[in-house]
């Protein structure tokens, strides 16, 4: 099966593998910034193809082929629906012509940091063998880096686009707002915002890992990016 309208690929065309919430935001921003380009969206099912078409994405099923390789590829499909996640990344890499950018959205879970410690781009990654979930992501990242693509740990549509437009090669970037909050602080802010009819009452337990506090000054300096909202509390419109 060949994607419709894919016969001629122009310099700003974009292939999104897994056009879910993040992928659709990327598509909408990319289409605004690159009028006349084509954005392709590859999905695991046809369930949402009409919705994708409505926002200007040319949909296709996983396993479809593109007659011409795309200059920009972003992979934001989750591993949960894949039998061979690194293999899916190899297919995506094979659909990239190497000119613009190939970006994989990964997870900050791969930074070997916990107990509420500060974590930035220089924090070491978890070694392969620690667990099946992190192993899958690490192997997927390696496929991308070996192909000359880049990795973005954590999701932000505007940052993903800023990275692709810079066209870096073989790099790992980090996305965050530099204003880390605990789960309690997040829910206190939600309650304070008054944006919801019901109030959060409390957590069911207090055990479990403390997580990490993310900081991405290096990514910001290299890419020239700032988040739309400086913090979650400012997004909600409450005092920090």
CA distance 74 to 71: 10
Res. 5: pLDDT tops 60: no
| Residue 33 φ/ψ, nearest 5 degrees | -80, -20
Mean pLDDT for the stretch of residues 2-29: 84
Q: What does the pLDDT average to over 51-72?
A: 87
Main-chain phi, psi angles of 116, to 5 degrees: 65, 25
Averaged pLDDT, 114-124: 93
Q: What is the pLDDT of residue 2?
A: 47
Q: Which pLDDT belongs to residue 200? A: 92
Which domains can be identified in the chain, with CATH numbers?
14-179+209-236 (3.40.50.720)
pLDDT value at position 145? 98
pLDDT tens sequence across 200-217: 999 988 787 788 999 999
With cut-offs at 50, 70 and 90, classify the pLDDT of residue 180: very high
Span 145-165, average pLDDT: 96
- The token duo for 196 is 């919801």
- Write down the pLDDT at residue 148: 97
8 A C-beta contact, residue 233 and residue 189: yes
Q: Would you state the pLDDT for residue 1?
A: 42
For all residues of the chain together, what is the average pLDDT?
91
């Amino acid at each position: 099966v060949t994607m419709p309208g894919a016969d001629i690929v122009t310099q700003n065309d974009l292939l999104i593998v897994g056009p879910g919430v993040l992928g659709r935001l990327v598509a909408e921003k990319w289409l605004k910034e690159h009028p006349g380009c084509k954005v392709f969206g590859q999905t695991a099912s046809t369930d949402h193809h009409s919705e994708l078409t409505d926002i200007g994405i040319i949909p296709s099923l996983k396993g479809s082929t593109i007659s011409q390789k795309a200059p920009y590829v972003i992979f934001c499909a989750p591993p949960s629906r894949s039998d061979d996640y690194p293999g899916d990344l190899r297919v995506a890499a094979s659909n990239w012509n190497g000119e613009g950018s190939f970006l994989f959205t990964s997870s900050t879970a791969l930074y070997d940091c916990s107990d509420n410690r500060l974590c930035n781009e220089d924090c070491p990654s978890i070694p392969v063998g620690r667990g099946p979930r992190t192993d899958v992501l690490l192997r997927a990242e390696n496929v991308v880096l070996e192909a000359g693509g880049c990795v973005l740990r954590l999701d932000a549509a505007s940052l993903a686009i800023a990275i692709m437009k810079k066209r870096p090669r073989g790099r790992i970037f980090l996305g965050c707002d530099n204003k880390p909050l605990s789960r309690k602080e997040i829910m206190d802010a939600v309650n304070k915002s008054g944006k919801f009819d019901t109030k959060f009452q409390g957590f069911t337990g207090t055990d479990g890992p403390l997580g990490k506090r993310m900081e991405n000054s290096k990514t910001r300096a290299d890419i020239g990016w700032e988040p739309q909202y400086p913090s979650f509390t400012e997004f909600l419109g409450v005092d920090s």
